[in-house]
Amino acid sequence: MDFFAHQDRARRNTGWLVVLFILAVTLLVFLANFFISLAIGWSEVASANHLSSQGTHAFWDQFSWSRFAVTGFAVWCVVLGAIIYKRLQLAEGGKRIAESLGGHRIYPNSDDLEERRILNVVEEMALASGMPVPPVYLLGGEMGINAFAAGDSPSDAVIGVTRGCIQLLDRDQLQGVIAHEFSHILNGDMRLNMRLITVLHGIEFIGGMGEVLLRVRTTRSGGAQAFLLGGALWLIGFLGTLFGDMIRSAVSRQREFLADASAVQFTRNPQGIADALKVIGGYTAGTEIFSPSRGEVSHIFFGQALRRLGGMFDTHPPVMDRIMRIQPDWDGSYILTRLKHQEEKDDAADAKKEQLAKAVALGAALNGEFIDPAELLMQGNIASVQEGLSHIPDSLKEQAHDPLGATALMLGLLFSDDETVYQKQRGYLKQSPTQGLLALIDKQTPELEQLSRALYLPLLELSMPALKCLSQEQYTLFKQRLLLLIRADEEIDLFEWCLYQELQHYLDPEFGKVRTHRPKYREIQQLSDAYRLVLSVLVYEGHDDPQDIEKAFNRGIGSAGLYNLKIQPQDACDLQDFRAAVKELAYAYPHLKPRMLMGFVNAVKQDGIITVIEREMVRSIAAVMDSPIPKLDD
The answer to the question of residue 634 being in a domain is: no
Instruction: Specify the long-range contacts of residues 7-14, CB closer than 8 Å, at least 24 apart.
Output: 7/187, 7/188, 7/590, 8/590, 8/591, 9/187, 9/188, 10/187, 10/188, 10/189, 10/191, 10/192, 11/188, 11/590, 13/192, 13/251, 14/192, 14/195
pLDDT surpasses 80 at 288? yes
Q: Do 74 and 185 sit in the same domain of this protein?
A: no
Radius of gyration of the chain (CA): 28
Q: Is 181 a catalytic residue?
A: yes
Name the catalytic one among 114, 123, 181, 616.
181
Bridge partners of 588?
Answer: 521
Structurally, how many domains does the chain consist of?
Answer: 5
The answer to the question of residue 629 being in a domain is: no
SS3 for 315? coil
Query: What is the CATH number for 143?
Result: 3.30.2010.10
The answer to the question of residue 273 being in a domain is: yes
Q: Do 152 and 268 sit in the same domain of this protein?
A: yes
pLDDT surpasses 50 at 51? no
**Boundary residue ending a domain (274, 301, 326):** 326
pLDDT at 334: 94
Q: Do 275 and 295 sit in the same domain of this protein?
A: yes
Q: Which residue has the higher pLDDT, 557 or 457?
A: 557
Q: Do 105 and 239 sit in the same domain of this protein?
A: no
pLDDT at 240: 67
Q: Do 592 and 578 sit in the same domain of this protein?
A: yes
The answer to the question of residue 106 being in a domain is: yes
The answer to the question of residue 431 being in a domain is: yes
Q: Do 292 and 241 sit in the same domain of this protein?
A: no
| Domain of residue 360, residue span | 343-389
**Boundary residue ending a domain (326, 358, 381):** 326
pLDDT tens-digit series, residues 469-509: 999 999 999 999 999 999 998 888 888 988 998 888 888 88
Q: Do 123 and 266 sit in the same domain of this protein?
A: yes
Q: Do 56 and 160 sit in the same domain of this protein?
A: no
The answer to the question of residue 469 being in a domain is: yes
pLDDT at 585: 94
pLDDT surpasses 70 at 123? yes
**Boundary residue ending a domain (480, 511, 542):** 511
Q: Do 259 and 279 sit in the same domain of this protein?
A: yes
Q: CA-based diameter of the chain, in Å?
A: 102
Q: Do 143 and 289 sit in the same domain of this protein?
A: yes
Round to whole Å and give the CA distance between 178 and 125.
7
The answer to the question of residue 519 being in a domain is: no
The answer to the question of residue 517 being in a domain is: no
Q: Do 212 and 64 sit in the same domain of this protein?
A: yes
What confidence tier does 359 reach under pLDDT thresholds 50, 70, 90?
very low
What confidence tier does 625 reach under pLDDT thresholds 50, 70, 90?
confident
pLDDT at 179: 93
pLDDT tens-digit series, residues 142-192: 999 999 999 888 888 999 999 999 999 999 999 999 999 998 887 777 887
Q: Do 23 and 70 sit in the same domain of this protein?
A: yes
Round to whole Å and give the CA distance between 250 and 243.
11
pLDDT tens-digit series, residues 516-560: 677 889 999 999 999 999 999 999 998 888 999 999 999 999 999
